[in-house]
Chain A
Amino acid sequence: MPKVIIDGIETEVPPGTTILKAAQKLGIDIPYFCYHPYLKPAGLCRMCLVEVEKMPKLAPACTTEVMDGMVVKTNTEKVEKARKGMLEYMLINHPLDCPICDQAGECDLQDITFKYGETTTRFIEEKIKHPTRKLGPLLVHEQNRCILCKRCVRFIREVVGGGDWNVYWRASHSLIGPLLNSVVANRFCGDLVEICPVGAITSAHNRYVTRVWKLDFTQSVCTHCDIGCNLHLGARDGRLLKVKHKVSYPSPWLCDRGYYAFDFVNDAHRITVPLRRADNKMVGEPWEKVIHEVADRCKEAGSKGVGAIVSPDLSCEDLYAWRLFMEEALGGGVADYRVFGENHLPQKTDLLFLRDLKKESAVLVVGEDPYLNHPVLAVTISEAVQTQGLSFYAVASGMEDQLSKQAKAYLNCMPGYEDVVAQALLSAVKGERFDSLLEGSGVEAKEVMELASKVKDERPLVVAGVYCGATGRKALTDLSHALDSKYLSMERGSNSRGAYLAGLYNQGGVEAILKDAASGKLKVLFVLGVDVLNCYPDGGLVREALSNVDTLVVYDLFFTDTAAYSDIFLPATTFAEEDGVVVNFLWDEQKRRATLRPKGFSKPLWEIAAMLKVSMKGGECESLNELRDSMVESGFLTSKGSWEPVEDSLPQIGEEGVLARVTASYYRSARYATHCKAVSSIDREPFLAVNGADLEVLGLKEDGRARVKANGASFELRVRAMNHVPPGSVLIYGGFDNFPLTSLLRGRWETRVKIERGEE
């Protein structure tokens, strides 16, 4: 290993290490702007110039690799002079609007000028000025503040893919931005804000809201999907004001749901007192009274008469406390967390870190569009494709171009046929016949054969997406075993693995609970932390269940469509208001720390469960620490799932009409998206996505309206031509409260619909 002496300290570093990294290892500070630990070095800002013996000029530390016997000096007069000069240059056209700049306090330019710069400038000319512009609803571009480090350009090019963002004009008039239009068409706008070392790219969402040094930051975990990105939540005066992604786990990048969809926590529409229905009105009541009433009704209903539908986004403590309540106080009852109508349970995974994905030579994703469902997974794949030539294969229905155009082979199957194609692929790899399987799937046997031969050669990491049912997951598990490759399965809900570990599932899933409630078998139904009416793919059944059950207890943040049926409403806390553990897609437990106090009289679920237990059985309310201790003792978090998904058949899709899948558009797939100001301003209404070639066949017009009917429900939607939709089918993008598209469905997310031209 090469030896290098930096400022008189000798160290050994692996070959290929840059001077900057070697110096960081020694704790020697070298200032930089354009360098970013997760992007390729560019050597543009010239701030990191250092003196290297035997080199005539100063060398940029970020790009110069260490050689054996190199002597580097970072504290000489020459270096100091260069640093002062560079900072003076940086500030020539940089406005001194730090007093109102959102970046102030965490600005690299401020900090480095403070440490290394001069107090005065000799520049007396007029500065170049550019207008401030809005780049879509999420970003504001303060072009004057840009120091042209090109971090954002490199981020788009190396990580996200595509040349949508670049420099235009030249020299000191250079500007940065999207070339063709003024909207940023990717889901990593938040990362653009984060990597900008100055306040040039700022979040439109918390612009001029607070000074960053006034915020208290607490480490937490994102609540929008099971990737579980670590967040730093910044709060002030009881409000959550900013999210930062300081810990690069599981990925250095954070998608816009995590970065922008957090302000539901502060929403004024939150219900913060327990409510009880009296004379068809919801009336605020004290907790004791409400708890007693719930406990009484549970006692009346008996252990067989109580059911619970729990959200897979609640923390492990909540879920474990709920199980204890059901087991110990109720002595039974049914509960399930699979509120999206899944028929499988979480599976084991071979991956230890998400970054290990980059060590693979190939990845096969089946049954989801990672760019829509798990953008951080998508960006990891796309980064590996861009920089390491990873081969990416996909089998999915209606995958957006962003990722599908990077795929070496992409089978765009009909919605709901992912499982079938997965089985066919397994058969093809094993050399068995599979022709009969593929009927109606929109995929030809030849394509599957080709994919199978590539898969056999390259042994890709197999990723089972959220649209894979139990049969598909079984086939993919077998496939990965047959290929001796790695396996990763994705789930809906940020803590579905925790709910699985808490044992909150039973035969028949949520469907069985709903049916029992509808038939009157259940007297008390708890719906905990989930708007099941907009979330379970059978709106009719849910409505029937909610209205037929004697007592409906809803625990939520807002008065949702489900809560409208409730007899008792319990105010919930958000992910930012309670301590709790969640289990991410790699089966890692991560801790959410409370940033805020619970708003109003809202309480975390574990506390409610404990209160109910006390009310029914007597005794003392246990504290969170006691709960945790018993959770650890019970061996709760030691299991890591099994290879076997549960075999449960999904209902058949009907025969007549156009095959349709209901899904949520990206920004609407955030939890409580309606109550998040930034993301709710992006997609304003549900729409019907039709392949351009099918428009004429269906008698529809781009941007016109269509009436969609199925299972007795009917909606009028705007039509959009989108060529990623598999020909012959349609996708309905929803995810809106008060717009229960689930009424179209019967137990699964695909259905056959009748489409008519709507009124213009």
Chain B
Amino acid sequence: MGEMKVLLKNVDKPNSHLLSTYREGGGYETLKAALGMEPSQIVEEVKKSGLRGRGGAGFPTGLKWSFVPKTDAPKYLVCNADEGEPGTFKDRVIIERDPHLLLEGIAISAYAIGSHRAYIYIRGEYEFGAQVLERAIQEAEEAGVLGERPFGQDYPIFITVHRGAGAYVCGEETALLDSLEGRRGHPRIRPPFPASKGLYQSPTVINNVETLSSVVEIISRGGDWYASLGTEKSKGTKLFSISGHVQRPGVYELVMGTPFKELIFDIAGGMRPGRELKAVIPGGSSTPMLTANEIDILLDYESLVQAGSMLGSGAVIVLDDTTCIVKETYRLAQFYAHESCGQCTPCREGTHWMVKILERIVNGNGREEDLDLLLHIGETLGGNCLCPLGDAALGPVISSVQKFRDEYLEHIKNKRCPIGG
């Protein structure tokens, strides 16, 4: 347990973004070998590894791939690099510092599902990342490891970078596809699922940057090796981007099942002197908060679900005792109300309503019944939306009202913030 550099093994090398650096460390050898394998073999290997989607939902990757129909129709692989969740910045490290790892992962995955064309949908704000990726693709195509004939094999693989236009909802896979097709990014109704009708109504697999990057090491060292890391249901290593009130915020790669406290107090350097931990948002802003007493757990999918939250994208936001939870929640609720696509009623109206209520409480005009009202809004909103954004918006609001009710009540009774936030 603890830190282990599998995905991040190259990022500290000088000129790590260059093809030459990547190939010195044995890069693209896995792709070369993979192109000699049967695609089904690769899928099997990934299934064996127990790799689960690193974008937040944690869906088994191998299983997702096996949903793609085995026909001659064009298939697409889309890499979701729309890293928009507040607190998440793990993919950025791979994109900017080790782009070829991602490209190799994409190429292997594309080959595994029978696709010749892959898109990287990168968030609009990652301008530098997009440049790095485009340069890397050019380099790789010129070197003949990607493009028309990768390694002389008759299996063309083309990768295109597409920059988003700054909408959080485009990180949702079907909205991403709409945006990629040149339309307004609005989530689609499912079914049909992208695996059968995705991009341009063709079978499509959408995976996160980290997921696709993990594929390289799984194929090179075997699914069994990967499965030997981590806990029973959460395998391998995972990137955590820890931010907030810790001494050494940043991206760390941990083996699944590392104790949460080790991450915060040891690896990330702990609290600032004289400060106490108040709350942690464990997996990106949409996951329910945990209080300081609740983090005596391991970092893996199951443990966090057991604790009433989610591992999500592994974006840990640490809040110490200088934080006003009400204001923090208000800020997050504002984000979701702003980013709701506005298609379906509950998300559009519910997120807006929650902001209005929280705004009143922050401004000292709250009422005691507002807290129950917030919980009640959550009941109508939760599970009734077209896409997961509505549920995501509820995470911080509901958990903070439940866990920090006293702080809300203080705001309401005293009409001011007890902390001064």
- Interface residue ranges, A against B (CB under 8 Å): 41-47, 49, 56-58, 60, 63, 81-82, 85-86, 88-90, 92-93, 122-123, 125-126, 128, 147-148, 150, 166-167, 169-174
Q: How far is the CA of A392 from the CA of B184 in the complex (A)?
A: 28
Q: List 12 A-B contacts (CB under 8 A).
A: A44-B343, A46-B385, A57-B383, A82-B384, A86-B345, A86-B380, A92-B349, A148-B343, A148-B345, A172-B337, A172-B349, A172-B352
Q: How far is the CA of A171 from the CA of B356 in the complex (A)?
A: 14
Residue numbers in B under 8 Å from A173 (CB-CB)? 342
Residue numbers in A under 8 Å from B342 (CB-CB)? 148, 167, 169-174
Q: Which residue of A lies closest to B390 (CB)?
A: A46
Q: Which of B372-394 contact A (CB under 8 A)?
A: 373, 376, 379-381, 383-386
Binary contact track B326-341/A, C-beta < 8 Å → 1, others 0: 0000000000011111
Q: Which residue of B lies closest to A89 (CB)?
A: B349
Inter-chain contact A44/B379, CB cutoff 8 Å: no
The minimal Cβ–Cβ distance linking B11 to chain A, given in whole angstroms, is 35
Q: How far is the CA of A172 from the CA of B340 in the complex (A)?
A: 8
Inter-chain contact B345/A90, CB cutoff 8 Å: yes
Q: Which residue of A lies closest to B351 (CB)?
A: A171
Inter-chain contact B353/A123, CB cutoff 8 Å: yes
CB of B295 within 8 Å of the partner chain: no
Q: How far is the CA of A90 from the CA of B345 in the complex (A)?
A: 7
The minimal Cβ–Cβ distance linking B84 to chain A, given in whole angstroms, is 14
Which of B339, B349, B373, B379 has the largest count of A CB atoms less than 10 A from its CB? Answer: B349
Inter-chain contact A85/B357, CB cutoff 8 Å: no
The minimal Cβ–Cβ distance linking B162 to chain A, given in whole angstroms, is 20
Q: How far is the CA of A676 from the CA of B290 in the complex (A)?
A: 68
Tell me whether A125 and B357 are in contact in the complex, defined as CB-CB below 8 angstroms, given that A42-B189, A46-B384 are known contacts.
yes
Q: Name the 7 nearest CB pairs between A and B, nearest first.
A: A85-B380, A174-B342, A89-B349, A172-B352, A125-B356, A171-B340, A57-B383
CB of B113 within 8 Å of the partner chain: no
- Interface residue ranges, B against A (CB under 8 Å): 167, 184, 189, 337-346, 348-353, 356-357, 360, 373, 376, 379-381, 383-386
The minimal Cβ–Cβ distance linking B301 to chain A, given in whole angstroms, is 18
Q: Which residue of B lies closest to A58 (CB)?
A: B384
Residue numbers in B under 8 Å from A49 (CB-CB)? 384
Residue numbers in B under 8 Å from A81 (CB-CB)? 379-380
Total A-B residue contacts, Cβ distance less than 8 Å: 98
The minimal Cβ–Cβ distance linking A146 to chain B, given in whole angstroms, is 11
Q: How far is the CA of A56 from the CA of B381 in the complex (A)?
A: 15
Q: How far is the CA of A649 from the CA of B341 in the complex (A)?
A: 62
Tell me whether A170 and B340 are in contact in the complex, defined as CB-CB below 8 angstroms, given that A85-B346, A89-B346, A92-B349 are known contacts.
yes
Please give 6 more A-B residue pairs, beta carbons under 8 A apart, in addition to A57-B384, A170-B342. A45-B344, A85-B380, A89-B353, A126-B356, A167-B342, A171-B341
Tell me whether A47 and B343 are in contact in the complex, defined as CB-CB below 8 angstroms, given that A58-B384, A171-B338, A171-B352 are known contacts.
no
Q: How far is the CA of A173 from the CA of B385 in the complex (A)?
A: 18
Q: How far is the CA of A123 from the CA of B346 in the complex (A)?
A: 14
The minimal Cβ–Cβ distance linking B362 to chain A, given in whole angstroms, is 13
Residue from A85, A92, A148 in contact with B384 in the complex, judged by beta carbons closer than 8 Å? A85
Inter-chain contact B386/A43, CB cutoff 8 Å: yes
Residue numbers in A under 8 Å from B373 (CB-CB)? 122
Inter-chain contact A58/B383, CB cutoff 8 Å: yes
Residue numbers in A under 8 Å from B349 (CB-CB)? 89-90, 92-93, 172
Residue from B345, B383, B385 in contact with A47 in the complex, judged by beta carbons closer than 8 Å? B345
Inter-chain contact B189/A125, CB cutoff 8 Å: no
Residue numbers in B under 8 Å from A85 (CB-CB)? 346, 379-381, 384
Residue numbers in A under 8 Å from B385 (CB-CB)? 46
The minimal Cβ–Cβ distance linking A721 to chain B, given in whole angstroms, is 31
Residue from B344, B356, B379 in contact with A46 in the complex, judged by beta carbons closer than 8 Å? B344
The minimal Cβ–Cβ distance linking A52 to chain B, given in whole angstroms, is 13
The minimal Cβ–Cβ distance linking B163 to chain A, given in whole angstroms, is 19
Residue from B184, B338, B344, B360 in contact with A44 in the complex, judged by beta carbons closer than 8 Å? B344
Residue from A56, A89, A169 in contact with B345 in the complex, judged by beta carbons closer than 8 Å? A89
The minimal Cβ–Cβ distance linking B317 to chain A, given in whole angstroms, is 23
Residue numbers in B under 8 Å from A43 (CB-CB)? 189, 344, 386
The minimal Cβ–Cβ distance linking A30 to chain B, given in whole angstroms, is 15
Q: How far is the CA of A56 from the CA of B341 in the complex (A)?
A: 24
Q: How far is the CA of A339 from the CA of B380 in the complex (A)?
A: 64
Residue from B337, B379, B384 in contact with A171 in the complex, judged by beta carbons closer than 8 Å? B337
Q: How far is the CA of A44 from the CA of B390 in the complex (A)?
A: 13
Which of B360, B379, B380 has the largest count of A CB atoms less than 10 A from its CB? Answer: B380
Residue from A42, A47, A125, A171 in contact with B348 in the complex, judged by beta carbons closer than 8 Å? A171
Residue numbers in B under 8 Å from A167 (CB-CB)? 184, 342
Residue numbers in B under 8 Å from A123 (CB-CB)? 353
Q: Which residue of A lies closest to B369 (CB)?
A: A122
Q: Which residue of A lies closest to B356 (CB)?
A: A125
Q: Which residue of B lies closest to A169 (CB)?
A: B342
Residue numbers in A under 8 Å from B167 (CB-CB)? 170
The minimal Cβ–Cβ distance linking A311 to chain B, given in whole angstroms, is 48
The minimal Cβ–Cβ distance linking B387 to chain A, given in whole angstroms, is 11
Inter-chain contact B380/A44, CB cutoff 8 Å: no
Q: How far is the CA of A93 from the CA of B342 in the complex (A)?
A: 13
Tell me whether A92 and B344 are in contact in the complex, defined as CB-CB below 8 angstroms, given that A85-B379, A167-B184, A171-B337 are known contacts.
no
Residue numbers in B under 8 Å from A170 (CB-CB)? 167, 338-342
Inter-chain contact A166/B184, CB cutoff 8 Å: yes
Residue numbers in A under 8 Å from B383 (CB-CB)? 56-58
The minimal Cβ–Cβ distance linking A646 to chain B, given in whole angstroms, is 50
Residue numbers in B under 8 Å from A58 (CB-CB)? 383-384
Q: How far is the CA of A645 from the CA of B141 in the complex (A)?
A: 67
Inter-chain contact A46/B386, CB cutoff 8 Å: yes
Residue from A56, A86, A93 in contact with B346 in the complex, judged by beta carbons closer than 8 Å? A86
Residue numbers in B under 8 Å from A42 (CB-CB)? 189
The minimal Cβ–Cβ distance linking A365 to chain B, given in whole angstroms, is 29
Tell me whether A125 and B353 are in contact in the complex, defined as CB-CB below 8 angstroms, given that A46-B344, A148-B342, A170-B342 are known contacts.
yes
Q: How far is the CA of A92 from the CA of B360 in the complex (A)?
A: 16
Q: Which residue of A lies closest to B357 (CB)?
A: A125
Residue numbers in A under 8 Å from B360 (CB-CB)? 125
Q: How far is the CA of A89 from the CA of B344 in the complex (A)?
A: 11
Tell me whether A46 and B346 are in contact in the complex, defined as CB-CB below 8 angstroms, given that A57-B383, A166-B184 are known contacts.
yes
Residue numbers in A under 8 Å from B384 (CB-CB)? 46, 49, 57-58, 82, 85-86
Inter-chain contact A150/B353, CB cutoff 8 Å: no
Residue numbers in B under 8 Å from A166 (CB-CB)? 184
Q: How far is the CA of A49 from the CA of B346 in the complex (A)?
A: 12
Residue numbers in A under 8 Å from B345 (CB-CB)? 44-47, 86, 89-90, 147-148
Q: How far is the CA of A372 from the CA of B418 in the complex (A)?
A: 70
Q: How far is the CA of A146 from the CA of B408 in the complex (A)?
A: 34
Q: How far is the CA of A42 from the CA of B340 in the complex (A)?
A: 17
Residue numbers in A under 8 Å from B353 (CB-CB)? 89, 92, 123, 125
The minimal Cβ–Cβ distance linking A192 to chain B, given in whole angstroms, is 19
Residue numbers in B under 8 Å from A126 (CB-CB)? 356
Tell me whether A92 and B340 are in contact in the complex, defined as CB-CB below 8 angstroms, given that A49-B384, A85-B379 are known contacts.
no
Q: Which residue of B lies closest to A126 (CB)?
A: B356
Q: How far is the CA of A172 from the CA of B350 in the complex (A)?
A: 9
Q: How far is the CA of A487 from the CA of B337 in the complex (A)?
A: 55
The minimal Cβ–Cβ distance linking A19 to chain B, given in whole angstroms, is 14
Residue numbers in A under 8 Å from B351 (CB-CB)? 171-172
Q: Which residue of B lies closest to A170 (CB)?
A: B342
The minimal Cβ–Cβ distance linking B354 to chain A, given in whole angstroms, is 11
Residue numbers in B under 8 Å from A147 (CB-CB)? 345
Inter-chain contact B189/A89, CB cutoff 8 Å: no
Q: Which residue of A lies closest to B352 (CB)?
A: A172
Tell me whether A172 and B343 are in contact in the complex, defined as CB-CB below 8 angstroms, given that A63-B189, A92-B353 are known contacts.
no
Inter-chain contact A148/B184, CB cutoff 8 Å: no
Residue numbers in A under 8 Å from B352 (CB-CB)? 92-93, 128, 171-172
Q: How far is the CA of A597 from the CA of B338 in the complex (A)?
A: 57
